[in-house]
Amino acid sequence: MKIKVCGLREAGNIEAVAALKPDFMGFIWYAQSPRYVYRLPETVLRSLPANIIKTAVFVNEHIDIVRALIHQFDFNAVQLHGQESPEYCAELKQEVQVLKAFGLDEYFDFEQLKAYVGKVDYFLFDTKTEKHGGSGRIFNWDVLNEYDLDVPFFLSGGLSLDNLAEIKNIKHPALYGVDLNSRFETAPGIKSIEKLKQAFALLKSQ
Ligand SMILES: O=C(O)c1ccccc1NCC(=O)[C@H](O)[C@H](O)COP(=O)(O)O
């Protein structure tokens, strides 16, 4: 099970999380988010271990800005939380890995995902929220039974030490990783290393 830690912001905290060896680290480029990386330390980011996939998170951002930030910070992946089209994803997939996020609820139409096959590397299934992400709430994981494509997905939305153990009950063959965010924070954008250590131990023992 791959582990992605999302919503990092401060140099010391970024380095401490990197020392735990997550597979992906996410940096949010969305000004309305309390985890917005308005002063992302470029040197810290560039010195992260090469095997951590540095992921820039956007919501309906202009593709030229996305491209400029990929090159400035040497991002390996983008995670898209808005209404980005399959064509927009395909353009970026020529340069980096693409995680396309969708907010799920009981009415989610999985048919719409077919248009993204071949144009993204992963889906990220999050809880539907007007804030586009970081809700701290889980969705009903039973809806994942309706997902029958081969594109691997991250489970996201409200994951915490209280519910991580239940993930082992999800037998879906395309489940690729988990995404940890607001339930592992001491303040928005600042991760609790102690809580993350517990989560990593739990996930790696599954
Ligand atoms: O975290 C945010 O503030 C955020 C805001 C807007 C778009 C995306 C955002 N986060 C991206 C993530 O990958 C989060 O980890 C995901 O939404 C789950 O967050 P949480 O429910 O807090 O675990």
Look at the pTM and tell me if it is higher than 0.90. Answer: yes
Q: What is the DSSP string of 113-163?
A: GGGGTTT-SEEEEEE--TTSS-------GGGGGG---SS-EEE-SS--TTT
Q: What are the extents of the domains in the chain?
A: 2-185
The span from the CA of 185 to the CA of 194, in Å, is: 10
**In this predicted structure, what is the pLDDT of residue 130?**
93
Q: 21-39 pLDDT, tens per residue? A: 999 999 999 999 999 998 8
pLDDT at 15 over 90: yes
128 CA distance to ligand 1 middle (Å):
11
Work out the percent of the chain whose per-residue pLDDT is above 70: 100
168 CA distance to ligand 1 middle (Å):
22
**In this predicted structure, what is the pLDDT of residue 38?**
81
ipTM above 0.90, yes or no: yes
pLDDT at 176 over 90: yes
Which residues' Cβ are closer than 6 Å to ligand 1? Answer: 6-7, 26, 28, 30, 33-35, 57, 59, 81, 126-127, 131-136, 156-159, 179, 181-183
27 CA distance to ligand 1 middle (Å):
10
Q: Would you give the distance in Å from CA 134 to the centre of its chain?
A: 10
**In this predicted structure, what is the pLDDT of residue 59?**
98
pLDDT at 41 over 80: no
Per-residue pLDDT averaged across 130-159, rounded? 97
CA angle in degrees (0–180, nearest 5) for 87-89-90: 65
Residue 187 — pLDDT band, cuts 50, 70, 90? very high
Q: Atom of ligand 1 at shortest distance to CA of 129?
A: 17
**In this predicted structure, what is the pLDDT of residue 206?**
73
The rounded radius of gyration (Å) of the Cα atoms in the chain is 16
Residue 18 — pLDDT band, cuts 50, 70, 90? very high
Work out the percent of the chain whose per-residue pLDDT is above 90: 94
CATH superfamily of 2-185: Aldolase class I (3.20.20.70)
pLDDT at 101 over 80: yes
Q: Atom of ligand 1 at shortest distance to CA of 179?
A: 15
**In this predicted structure, what is the pLDDT of residue 70?**
96
Residue 40 — pLDDT band, cuts 50, 70, 90? confident
181 CA distance to ligand 1 middle (Å):
6
β 153-155/175-180 pair status = parallel
134 CA distance to ligand 1 middle (Å):
3
Q: Which of 37-41, 45-49, 108-112, 120-124 has the least mean pLDDT?
A: 37-41
